[in-house]
Amino acid sequence: MDNINATADVDANAQIGTGTLIWHLAQVREDAVVGANCVIGRGAYIGPGVRVGNNCKIQNHALVYEPAVLGHGVFVGPAVVFTNDTYPRAVNPDGSLKNAEDWNPVGVEVSEGAAIGARAVCIAPVRIGAWATVAAGAVVTRDVPAYAVVAGVPARQVGWVGPAGHPLVPGSSDGEWTCPLTGALFRVHDGALAPISEHVSDPAALTFGD
């Protein structure tokens, strides 16, 4: 395919959507499913069976280990790591080398529109909510709510963000937040943020890529 660089290693059993670009030295393993109009950067790794939605950007040297699932429109920054082993060891207690039958992989799930900053590490099992933002260098050890901004080691929530990617600012009423770029309105209820403008998607309706 013209959209796959000659140095990329794409398994014959991987499914690649129309218009997706795969750059130098990237690897897409067997049974991975990558949606349409994605960009897989130089040296990125997509593990066996990983599912990536449409219109995603996975930047240079990101490591997306199975069984990760990315929804539509997800951004994964340079050198991000999605882990998949809760109790990592190279060997069993008897000293024998571990194989595929000796551990159970767990995955990172990223909902539609979320962004993971450069060199962040997401420790599976964990779920990143729709339109959330993980700051560069953060280490995510627990689920991230939709629209939340998290930062630090371990990551903690430091604010709210809208689909435009800009931090939300307090609105005119208690519990209301506003996007300074689009004017979209949101409200916090029971610790969760939800849109109250008609043109903003409800994260409950967002699904992972097919």
Q: How many CA atoms lie within 13 A of 56 on its CB side?
A: 34
Q: Which helix (H) or strand (E) holds 64?
A: strand 63-64
Catalytic residue among 61, 166, 189, 199: 61
Q: Catalytic site residue 61?
A: yes
C-beta separation of 40 from 62 below 8 A? no
CA dihedral 109, 167, 56, 52 (to 10 degrees): 10
- 3 state SS of 116: strand
Contact 76, 135 (CB under 8 A): no
Q: Give which of 20, 63, 17 is closest to 39, Cα–Cα.
A: 20
List active site positions. 61
